[in-house]
Amino acid sequence: MNSATRWLAVASLVASAAGASAQTLRVGLAEDPDVLDPTLARTFVGRIVFNSLCDKLFDLDEKLNIVPQLATSYAWSGDHKALTLKLRQGVTFHDGEKFDAAAVKFNLERHKNMQGSNRRGELAPVTSVDVVDAQTVRLNLAAPFAPLLAVLTDRAGMMVSPKAAQAAGAHFGAKPVCSGPFRFVERVAQDRIVLERYPNYWNKGAIHFDRVVYQPIVDASVRLANLRSGQLDFIERMAASDVPGLKGDNRFKISRIVEIGYQGITINIGKSDQAQKNPLGRDPRVREAFELSLDRAAIVQVAMDGEAEVGNQWVAPNNPWYAKNVPIPKRDVAKAKALLAAAGVPNPSFTLMTPTTSDAQKIAQVVQAMAKETGFEVKVQATEFSTSLDLADKGQYDAYVLAWSGRADPDGNLFSFHACKQPLNYAGYCKPEVDELINRSRAATDPAARLKLFEQIEAHVAQDRPIVYLFHRHWLWAYNSKLSGLRTVPDGLVRVQDLKFN
Amino acid sequence: MFKFLVQRLATIIPTLFFVSILIFGLQQLLPGDPATALAGEDHDPNVIAYLRAKFHLDEPVYMRYFYWARGVLHGDLGESVRIQKPVTDLILEKLPVTVQLASMAIVIAIVFGVSAGILSAVKKDTAWDYAANVFALWGLSTPNFWLGILLIMLFAVKLGWLPASGYVSPFEDLKGNLAAMIMPAFVLGNSFAAVLMRHTRSAMLQVLSADYVRTARAKGLEERVVVLKHALRNALVPVITLGALGFGELLGGTVLTETVFSIPGFGKLIVDAVFNRDYSVVQGVVLFTATVYITLNLLADLAYFLVNPRMRG
């Protein structure tokens, strides 16, 4: 290489590096997403990528209000058994196909009927979809279903190109075609997902990057090191223990949002015969004593470095759906001891199963130490995550440290966990009056009436304790301080709209 | 030579058959229901039922083995359920990455390990020897994970010389590729360098005290010729076996290094697949690795022939 070409090469390298840093947003993810098909997808982290790739009928704002995205307005019928949506005009999919009522019908039916669909349950109350005209679609329901709009703010509301979906069949996820601000370029499993700006995006004024690159980096300290060395602009789920180290550095900012999910301890109270074989599952007084042994604030301090809000329900105390009639119980060792004495088991013993993540194990250890002061003998059993889920599903456990990522509507944190025989009801909780209340809450279209029902449900759950809720984690985001326009939506998903470098 | 080769090749087929049964059987022992693990957060019973049918999970184990083995014999290793990609594609995508990482690591290990081994044997009981031993002890006792993070902190965060993690294809950007791979290769090669050093040292010491070396010296040969031509050649026989096996081990042992440096290679592929119960990926990758391992063993045997004339007899 002669010196002129060498200089040219160097100059082009420098130019491309500078160009890339000005126009590419590089996001560090805590895990590698699963399949990029909104119908089949099942992980939290995948939803972060979808937010750049696939627009939804509705979106959420920072206060969890439901706001328009592909649907511009909605109207419920008088009996709340039909939802009519007006659709945004001039929207196209990444393959140039038009987005219209027929596309919405196709997508909702795909969610409902595709083999292996994970959206079927969420859309179960929708019985049929009518195309009223090109920009109007009507969803017919078997019965009123309050969580429906919230469901449409997530994957069930994501619209893919019908033409591309039909052509790709079951392999759509390998090359998804949606209508979001960025279109799919390539994916190298476990390395990166590259998206580029879709020039015909309906809201292109809000998009300030040419490319978004998502890189899964599992280890939190390595993710942070990439941010600090300038290879990433944004990382999600930074470790709570790293917060103090980054605070003094003004090149970076930290955002924290209280999650819509929760961390709790699920107790086997009726999932299998094992529920009756240990005092915790057998006797509600022992469960009450167990809860009274716990100092939630201390657990948060020790296990989470203070990066969580204490709580006692399936939604956080700052959530509008929090049932105020059941406040967070304070630690009371004397009362707990009295309850154990009354139950005739001063030293109850049980096994606390925990996934092998460091947070979960820390929680288990702190709980073990706290409960010991009351007289509990807690054996901690760390179990690989898939195995622990399987054991929980079979009811082969006493108590289980389990987190839930949460859904925008409280029903997503409640129904599947506390209604009889639902798939996530690992506790085996089944009480006809609670089922009745939950079903009424799902049909309640008046928010005030719905909240009243939640208060009644919470009164039962707080007494029966199928889950002892502990706290709600902070979503910790760390990012380059040049980045502005970041919206902190409590679902923990980064929105690329309005995001830019100053 | 020919007979030996045929003999060795003939043992490969039953070995691979046994390995395939072992892989399949061990996987069945993994706790946890794959359909439940794959169904994701929501655990929709319909999805679980669909996955069970798709992967024949309701059928007896031998039938499942049959389906899988039939596919393998037709060159079809199945598809990853998690990301909808054929396992063969995943292997072809990840293999070059790990092979490059392991090759760089083994070069680093040989350069540092063998030369330190020779040096410490020739200069036995001197400062050189002690230094080489300290180096080996350090290499053996430093956890990969920790060393990786320390190097990232120093070279990426503090000095900003190298990227903290990630991977660039050498065909896109060779310099970027080497910059991204040098730290992980060093971390990976580090402990193996120590093993090679210890083995080279002891093999060299043994050979250097042998009669023929004394004869060589008595002939008045230069020490350099004695060490490099006469002694090293014999001492290298066990080291070569170790190197070949070590390469296999490095290929399979890149898990931690790949995790720390976020390198999309084989190790990460298999670990993620095990945790997600992505069975076809686990089976395909393990079978492939086993085949590579067996082949390397065969090559090591052949290499004896080339370096050690006595075995040609």
pLDDT in tens, A69-78: 999 999 999 9
Burial class of residue A448 in the structure, from the number of CB atoms within 10 Å of its CB (0-12 exposed, 13-18 middle, 19+ buried): exposed
**Is the ipTM, as predicted for this complex, more than 0.85?**
no
Q: Do B260 and A230 touch (CB under 8 A)?
A: no
Both A321 and A458 in one domain: the answer is: yes
Give the domain-ending residue among A162, A196, A217: A162
Both A364 and A400 in one domain: the answer is: yes
Q: Do A35 and B83 touch (CB under 8 A)?
A: yes
Both A439 and A388 in one domain: the answer is: yes
Classify residue B66: in a domain, yes or no. Answer: no
Query: How many angstroms separate the CA atoms of A372 and A359, rounded?
Result: 20
Query: How many angstroms separate the CA atoms of B253 and A109, rounded?
Result: 46
Both A350 and A451 in one domain: the answer is: yes
pLDDT in tens, A319-330: 999 999 999 999
Of A189, A229, A391, which is closest to B85 when you measure between CB atoms?
A: A189
pLDDT in tens, B173-221: 888 899 989 999 999 888 888 888 888 888 888 887 788 878 888 888 7
**Does B166 reach chain A within 8 Å, measured CB to CB?**
yes
Classify residue B27: in a domain, yes or no. Answer: no
Q: Do B31 and A390 touch (CB under 8 A)?
A: yes
pLDDT higher for A224 or B254? A224
CATH number of A304's domain? 3.10.105.10
pLDDT higher for A356 or B303? A356
Share of chain A above pLDDT 90, in %: 83
Domain coverage including residue B261 = 88-312
What's the mean pLDDT when you consider all of chain B? Answer: 83
Position A313 pLDDT exceeds 50? yes
Position A2 pLDDT exceeds 60? no
Position A23 pLDDT exceeds 70? yes
pLDDT in tens, B124-167: 888 888 888 888 888 888 888 888 889 998 998 888 898 888 88
Position B47 pLDDT exceeds 90? no
pLDDT higher for B238 or A381? A381
Task: Give, in order, the Cα–Cα distances in Å from A330 to each of A258, A339, B159.
Answer: 21, 15, 49
CATH number of A214's domain? 3.40.190.10
**Does B156 reach chain A within 8 Å, measured CB to CB?**
yes
Considering its fold, how many domains does chain A have in total? 3
Mean pLDDT of A229-240: 93
pLDDT in tens, A80-119: 999 999 999 999 999 999 999 999 999 999 999 998 888 9
Instruction: Count CB-CB contacts under 10 A for residue A159.
Output: 27
Mutate to test the interface with A, among B29, B38, B42 (most CBs of A within 10 A): B42
Position A15 pLDDT exceeds 50? no
Contact list in A for residue B263 (CB cut-off 8 A) is 191
Contact list in B for residue A221 (CB cut-off 8 A) is 149
Tokens of A482: 């040049």
pLDDT in tens, B237-279: 777 778 777 777 777 678 888 888 888 888 888 888 888 888 8
Mean pLDDT of A239-268: 93
Considering its fold, how many domains does chain B have in total? 1
pLDDT of residue B312: 60
Give the domain-ending residue among A118, A134, A162: A162
Which of A49-58, A299-308, B107-116 has the lowest average pLDDT? Answer: B107-116
Of B51, B54, B164, which is closest to A222 when you measure between CB atoms?
A: B164
Position A463 pLDDT exceeds 90? yes
Cα torsion through A325, A331, A337, A340, rounded to 10: 50
How many CA atoms lie less than 13 Å away from A387 in the CB half-sphere?
A: 14
Both A173 and A123 in one domain: the answer is: no
Q: Give which of A153, A27, A161 is closest to A496, Cα–Cα.
A: A27
Q: Do A121 and B269 touch (CB under 8 A)?
A: no
Share of chain B above pLDDT 70, in %: 97
Position A22 pLDDT exceeds 60? no
Q: Give which of B248, B144, B132, B158 is closest to B186, Cα–Cα.
A: B144
Tokens of B70: 């039939």
Both A301 and A350 in one domain: the answer is: yes
CATH number of B255's domain? 1.10.3720.10
Domain coverage including residue A182 = 21-32+169-259+475-501
Residue of B nearest to A226 (CA): B164
Task: Give, in order, the Cα–Cα distances in Å from A256 to each of A137, A253, A473, A477, B109.
Answer: 38, 10, 9, 6, 45
Q: Which amino acid is at A443?
A: A
Q: Give which of B158, B157, B131, B120 is closest to B235, Cα–Cα.
A: B120
Q: Do A173 and B83 touch (CB under 8 A)?
A: yes
CATH number of A90's domain? 3.90.76.10
Of A173, A226, A229, which is closest to B160 when you measure between CB atoms?
A: A229
* Residue partners of B147: CB distance under 8 A and separation at least 6: B187, B190
